[in-house]
Amino acid sequence: MSWKPEIQVAGDQKWYDNAVRFETKAEAEKYARDLFYRWTSAKNQRATESDDPVNASWVEGAVVWKDVKYRQTTVDDHEL
């Protein structure tokens, strides 16, 4: 079990989430609040339970991904 942050936008009754899943409800609520203030049309925020595995933590105001494999990416031979 994990917790997912959800955002509701103006003019829409549906709740939206992304792939971020937290171990605790508190972490998901903090991330949802962060998203709420960054989205221009957000009207509500919440955290709900999910059957998805935990894949992130909320540490000092930022998402820290768990077990994510990174690869180096280039565009037009310029390193990103």
Q: For residue 67, what pLDDT band results from cuts at 50, 70 and 90? A: confident
User: pLDDT tens digits, residue range 17-58?
Assistant: 999 999 999 999 999 999 999 998 999 999 999 999 999 999
Return the C-alpha torsion angle 66, 64, 1, 29, nearest 10. Answer: 180
The helix or strand, by DSSP H or E, that contains position 5, with its residue range, turns out to be strand 2-9
- Please give the pLDDT value at position 74: 52
- Both tokens of 29, joined, read 């609520």
Write down the pLDDT at residue 23: 97
pLDDT value at 71 more than 70: no
Residues in the chain: 80
DSSP three-state, residue 44 = strand
* Interval 57-62 mean pLDDT: 94
